[in-house]
Amino acid sequence: MSGWQTEIDFREVAAAQKKFVIVKGAEGTSATRRRDQHMAGATAAGGGLMTGLYYFGRPDSYRHLGLDDAKREASVAARIWRDCDALWDVEIGPILDFERGDPSDEYNALWALEWLQTAHDLTGRLPWIYSARWAVSSYFRRAPAELAGRLARYPLWWADYQSVNGEGAEPEDETTPWPFWTIWQYTGRGACPGVAGNCDLNVMRGDAYDALLCESFDAEYRGLVP
């Protein structure tokens, strides 16, 4: 959910058996509109809606700052995540949305890793990374294998629109450098009760969902992908 979704009836969302909602927390270092409104609404809706926060990374904006730019953005993201967690008990660790990049794939990988490590240090929670097949091909494909392997230590929220409204096969197993996806975003033009217009729809692996409910996800993921 982002600022583009103005009025959402989260009670209808929960009644439609949706299990989780991920709200946009910031873009770069700028907090986003309606973040608190959406987080409060999702929490108050009942029905056990799990919440998370994502942050649209902008490594393309302040290249002259180098990796300090990643630390700066991650520090903002961590502060927002901690504030929201204190109010609404956020279940999913902070998520880096990586859809913009530098011409250097090595720099992109280093930037993402700096963001993820900084967010981890400041929140104590395992951050995730959101990306898509086109973005990985454009921004990470030529990065050194060692850096790509380190990216795989963070859970993947994978955008791959192979199906329409959930009808069709799941994405291919090939999600290199990640061994598997944890959340799959299968459409950007879905329909959801309580949400006006099109919205992104996702599925989460059942074992990941159960582990998040039990607050054991971070340790379990690092056990699988150390």
193 neighbors 15 (Cβ within 8 angstroms): yes
How many C-beta neighbours within 10 Å does residue 48 have? Answer: 9
Whether omega before 177 lies within 30 degrees of 0, making that bond cis, reads yes
> In terms of pTM, does the model score above 0.95?
no
Residues of the chain with pLDDT under 50: 1, 3, 164-166
Among 74, 71, 61, 135, residue whose Cα is nearest residue 105: 135
175 neighbors 162 (Cβ within 8 angstroms): no
Q: What would you measure as the largest C-alpha separation in the chain, in angstroms?
A: 48
Where are the alpha helices (H) located in the chain, listed in sequence order?
10-15, 35-44, 67-88, 105-123, 133-139, 145-151, 206-213, 217-224
Homologous superfamily of domain range 10-224? Glycosidases (3.20.20.80)
Q: What is the pLDDT of residue 163?
A: 53
Chain-centre distance for alpha carbon 190: 18
Q: What is the pLDDT of residue 4?
A: 57
Q: What is the pLDDT of residue 165?
A: 47
Q: What is the DSSP annotation of 5-68? A: ---B-HHHHHHTT--EEEEEEEETTEEPTTHHHHHHHHHHT-TT-EEEEEEE--TTT-GGGTHH
Identity of the residue numbered 217? F
Domain-by-domain residue ranges, the chain? 10-224
User: pLDDT tens across 114-168, in order?
Assistant: 999 999 999 999 999 999 989 999 999 999 999 999 999 999 999 988 654 445 5
